[in-house]
């Protein structure tokens, strides 16, 4: 099944903004300090998206 052909999923703009903020904050910290490995940053971004998407707003 082609995911691109799926019907458009409605996104919550507040959640989306929060995700952007948190991801950019994480990336800013990563670019300066390399405090996490690439793989850890990827997992952290996934966690941000999952946690925010699950929130009841």
Rounded Cα distance, 11 and 29, in Å:
27
Is 27 a residue that touches another protein (CB under 8 A)?
A: yes
Number of residues that bind another protein (CB under 8 A): 33
- Say whether residue 40 binds another protein (CB under 8 A): no
Q: Is 56 in the site for another protein (CB under 8 A)?
A: no
Q: Distance between alpha carbon 32 and the CA centroid of its chain, in Å?
A: 19
Contact 3, 14 (CB under 8 A): no
14 touches another protein (CB under 8 A): no
CB of 56 to another protein, least distance (A): 14
């Amino acid at each position: 099944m082609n995911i691109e052909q799926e019907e458009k999923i409605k996104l919550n703009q507040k959640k989306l903004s929060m995700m952007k903020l948190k991801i950019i904050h994480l990336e800013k910290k990563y670019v300066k300090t390399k405090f996490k490995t690439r793989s850890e940053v990827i997992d952290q971004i996934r966690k941000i998206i999952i946690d925010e998407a699950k929130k009841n707003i």
